[in-house]
Amino acid sequence: MIRFHHEGKFWMTLISLFYIIVIGFLSFFSHFLLWPIAILLGIIVFLIFNFFRNPPRPIAQPNDQLIYCPADGKVVVIEKTFESEYFKDERLQVSVFMNPLNVHVNRYPCSGTISYSKYHHGKYLVAWHPKSSTENERTTVVIKRSDGTEILMRQIAGALAKRICCYSKVSDSAQQGDDMGFIKFGSRVDLYLPLNAQIKVEINQIVKGNLDVIAECL
């Protein structure tokens, strides 16, 4: 059975009603246009429903030392960089770009306690732009594991994304694999990991949330 994310309830209801109204109108007044428009609107309805799908992704073997992928998409960045918002030191950055056809649910890469959560207004540069991590609309969440290690996860809006949904609040408990948010219509997720993390993915690799391991942090 296909599951859909609750963030899509409004959009799926709206597009469904629009489809019914338009097709009903054309069936009475213009049989000539009925099928072409029905097919075109049907494709749009399919794409909207497909965007908000939320397939069940239980983690087979939960392990806090493993950092699971927080989103579906393609790995576009693996590099050592200076994280200026929270850590203010060098970290390993791994970024996953989500195109509009990907599942857009964001999931916790590890378990722990939320030690930091902040939303930032910003621009809407394309999500693969180098400055999107610091200049675009974004939400930064830091998860503190039971061993004290902190993992920073950043949701970044892209050129098409106009709303970031984040459910994380300071002192909340984070459970590896659970939903932590949603980004609507194209976006990117960054992870900032300790320098001793062992990266398990490669540039341009296609990954899936809760299924692929991004890194191992001992």
Percent of the chain with pLDDT over 70: 89
Residue 49 has a pLDDT of 85
Q: Is 115 a catalytic residue?
A: no
Q: For residue 118, how many C-alpha atoms fall within 13 Å in the half-sphere facing its CB?
A: 10
How far, in Å, CA of 59 to CA of 83, rounded?
29
Furthest-apart CA atoms within the chain: distance in Å: 68
Mean pLDDT of 89-110: 92
Residue 143 has a pLDDT of 97
More confident residue, 196 or 22: 196
Mean pLDDT of 74-94: 96
The answer for residues whose C-beta is within 8 angstroms of residue 25's C-beta and 6 or more apart is none
Residue 181, pLDDT > 80, answer yes
> One of 132, 133, 168, 187 is an active-site residue; which one?
187
Residue 67, pLDDT > 80, answer yes
User: Where in the chain are the domains?
Assistant: 6-51, 66-216
Task: Please identify, in words, the CATH class of the domain defined by 66-216.
Answer: mainly beta
Mean pLDDT over all residues of the chain?
Answer: 86
